[in-house]
Structure 1
Amino acid sequence: MLGLFSPAHAVAPLEDVEAVPQLDARGKAGYRAYLKADSHKAFMIAPGGHWVWRAEMGSEEAAEDAALNDCQENTEQRCVPYAVNDRVVFNAKAWPQLWGPYLAKAQADRATVGLKRGMRFPDLAFKDPQGKPTTLKALRGKVVVLHFWGSWCAPCLKEMPELRKTAAMLEGDRDIVFTCLQMREDFATAKSFVKQHLKLDFALSDSQVKGPGKSELPLSDGSILPDRQLAKVFPTTYVIDKHGIVLFLHNGPIEDWKEYIAFLRDAAARSGR
């Protein structure tokens, strides 16, 4: 493992909790506990903020293997070591590449339709920010950040300003698009709330949900899909590659959207071949 994911350049000090990428408050507390634990030990992380550590093992290799197994059992994302014993072994250069390897078109065309990593996302039908009917399939050739939210959802509203800021930072990246679809309310209500109350100018898309209590999303073939099949909680975010394949799923608000910019750019540069 260490040979495959060893540092390519200078790394942060071991004690720098803030340097560990994508950890929430609970993850940071877990890393502090790791620092105090006895060897042999290993701390694993995965894109999306998942983390695991194991300590008091018979060897470095045993600690690393145990932590990796525990980590991988609970996430579809690839787990990698951040620290082993008292050394940071994290490779920051390789970190944004972990959504790969990306499927070739022939592989993507054969992929099962579904919501898990490596599956082809269902072909939702919606209206783009200009009000034109479109589908997810029409966005093939672009990396899509697909975000399910609602103006009635407090965590969604808290997250929205940073989501908008990140989208603005990527406006020059034409191969990356943000598609934000409102849930369980009509488009006019959602759009008005964002503009008037959050004071944000954000190019939102219309899920075609017509109002409160409505929870079914249209697909391009005329069928419908219950929103809870796509999102266990709101907000929920998917990242879909240029061939329509799921790269990433996050249930709930994302802690720091800016930490995903390098991932999105890597997917834009290397997927779709």
Structure 2
Amino acid sequence: MSNAAKSRKTWLAGLAAVALLSAGAAWYGLAPHDPMASVTAECRASKATAERLKPLAKGEVAAVGVSGAPKPPPVIAFAGPEGQPMSLADFKGKTILVNLWATWCVPCREEMPALDKLQAELGGPDFQVVAINVDTRNRDKPKAWLRENGIGNLAYHADPEGKLLQVLQKSGHVVGLPTTFVVDGSGCEIALLKGPAEWSSPDAVAFMKAALGRS
């Protein structure tokens, strides 16, 4: 069994935790979303990228769903490295791999070193791993965990209020943690994974290089 398969098995066991979190949190509505967004010129241009990715969703990233009709992701808000308000629009022009994680999520913790390596290998002006922590209790714990485990390449983003998770559960992006999705430089979502992956594996690196148009 591959590392990704083992992690997905653990991930399935954690779905109940997210369900409980949803039940206990206040309802948070989706921001208005244009139903015609999927047919905008911007996202039609992203379809070529998605088509390029489809044959590369294999091996350690076989569970990644590549979109047949790229469209803007749900509007979400979170805090940046300095605590400043941010949204995915702040990264427009750059391909981003958005990862939602929590310290109480075992598969999340297991894949963080791989995400850190992916950022180290591919990060730059055209690409960034945007890992967003969704712990809602001890707000100092996630930063301490990252330091203790040598995760030094990822900028720290967080939503300690839990609102982002509510939005993405309503949109169907999140059924458990971790959840990861890829947004291209045009701001269009081109791939989604509900569960863990070995993000520093050759399969994952090839997949992300194709998303970036790199050979």
What band does the TM-score fall into relative to the shorter chain?
Answer: 0.5 to 0.7
Alignment equivalent of 1:217, drawn from 158, 164, 178 = 164
Structure 1 residues 133 and 261: alpha-carbon distance in aligned structure 2, compared to 1, 3 A threshold: same
1:153 to 2:100 alignment: no
Distance between the aligned counterparts of 1:207 and 1:23, measured in 2?
A: 25
Alignment check: 8 A CA contact 2:199 2:205 kept: no
Alignment check: 8 A CA contact 1:141 1:243 kept: yes
Alignment check: 8 A CA contact 2:182 2:190 kept: yes
Letter in 1 for 2:130: T
**Please, which runs of 5 or more residues in structure 1 have no aligned partner?**
1-17, 26-44, 51-74, 78-98, 100-115, 219-223
1:269 to 2:209 alignment: no
Alignment equivalent of 1:124, drawn from 76, 94, 98 = 76
Distance between the aligned counterparts of 1:170 and 1:136, measured in 2?
A: 19
Alignment check: 8 A CA contact 1:148 1:231 kept: no
Structure 1 residues 189 and 136: alpha-carbon distance in aligned structure 2, compared to 1, 3 A threshold: same
Q: Which has the higher contact order (CA 8 A, sep 6+)?
A: 2
Provide the residue aligned with 1:177 in structure 2.
128
Provide the residue aligned with 1:68 in structure 2.
none
TM-score w.r.t. the length of structure 1 is 0.50
Provide the residue aligned with 2:179 in structure 1.
236
DSSP-derived class of the 1:180 partner: strand
**Please, which runs of 5 or more residues in structure 2 have no aligned partner?**
7-54
Deviation at 1:151, TM superposition (A): 0.8
DSSP-derived class of the 1:230 partner: coil
Alignment check: 8 A CA contact 1:181 1:204 kept: no
DSSP-derived class of the 1:248 partner: strand
Alignment equivalent of 2:89, drawn from 137, 159, 164 = 137
Alignment equivalent of 1:247, drawn from 181, 190, 197 = 190
Letter in 2 for 1:165: K
DSSP-derived class of the 2:83 partner: coil
Distance between the aligned counterparts of 2:86 and 2:186, measured in 1?
A: 16
| CA deviation map 1:52-74 (0-9, x unaligned) | xxxxxxxxxxxxxxxxxxxxxxx
Alignment check: 8 A CA contact 2:119 2:154 kept: no
| CA deviation map 1:170-219 (0-9, x unaligned) | 13x320011111123355321111212x2322434333324xxxx3228x
Alignment equivalent of 2:146, drawn from 194, 210, 231 = 194
Alignment check: 8 A CA contact 2:174 2:194 kept: yes
1:206 to 2:157 alignment: yes
Letter in 2 for 1:217: L
| CA deviation map 1:130-174 (0-9, x unaligned) | 333221112110001000000111111111111111111113x32
Deviation at 1:23, TM superposition (A): 8.2
Distance between the aligned counterparts of 1:154 and 1:240, measured in 2?
A: 25
Deviation at 1:227, TM superposition (A): 4.3
Provide the residue aligned with 1:260 in structure 2.
204
Letter in 2 for 1:154: V
| CA deviation map 1:214-262 (0-9, x unaligned) | x3228xxxxx725464311111110111111111111111035332223
How high is the sequence identity, in percent, across the aligned residues? 24
DSSP-derived class of the 1:255 partner: coil
DSSP-derived class of the 2:212 partner: helix
Letter in 2 for 1:163: L
Q: Which has the larger radius of gyration?
A: 1
